[in-house]
Amino acid sequence: MESLSTNSVESLRLPLLLTVEEAGALLRIGRTKAYAMAREWRETDGRSGLPVIDLGHVLRVPRHALEEMVGVQLVDEIPVEPEPSTNSEPKTRPNQRRTRTSDQLDLFEPTHD
């Protein structure tokens, strides 16, 4: 993977076929809305909705169709956050117990009848 010179964010190439969730993320819509739009595409024979192709129970959104839908060419790279290093020590809480200043029964007032 290539590193961007501006910061520590790495980039991945944008694939030719995107998942419905990836296309939704690019459109900045939620997963449920993206799948609803994909269903609309299939039900209207491509007249409206999110353009998808069915690859045997797997839906994919062609990049070029998404570009046509939004009217702009998508950037060829997607910035992704680098994964945390596995070499670092896991952060642990200090093994300290609080000291009790009072007995827990002192927290309840006795009821008088």
pLDDT reading at 70 higher than 80: yes
pLDDT, averaged across the chain: 77
User: In terms of Cα–Cα distance, which of 64, 71, 65 is closest to 49?
Assistant: 65
| Angle at 77 (CA atoms; ends 76, 81), nearest 5 degrees | 170
Give the strand pairing for 59-62 and 53-54: antiparallel
Q: How far apart are the C-alpha atoms of 23 and 26, rounded to whole Å?
A: 5
Percent of the chain with pLDDT strictly greater than 70: 56
Between 85 and 75, the higher pLDDT residue? 75
Domain ranges in the chain are 14-75
Question: For the segment 85-96, what is each residue's pLDDT rounded down to a tens digit?
Answer: 666 666 666 666
Q: Which CATH number fits domain 14-75: 3.90.105, 2.60.40, 3.90.350, 1.10.3710?
A: 3.90.105
Q: 10: part of which helix (H) or strand (E)?
A: strand 10-13
User: In terms of Cα–Cα distance, which of 75, 76, 61, 67 is closest to 24?
Assistant: 61
Mean pLDDT, residues 37-59 taken together: 95
pLDDT, position 5: 39
Widest distance between CA atoms in the chain: 79
Tokens 């998808």 label which residue? 52
Structure tokens at 79: 């910035």
User: In terms of Cα–Cα distance, which of 106, 33, 27, 104 is closest to 72?
Assistant: 27
Percent of the chain with pLDDT strictly greater than 90: 46
Mean pLDDT, residues 34-38 taken together: 96
**Is the Cα dihedral 40, 43, 48, 54 positive or negative?**
positive
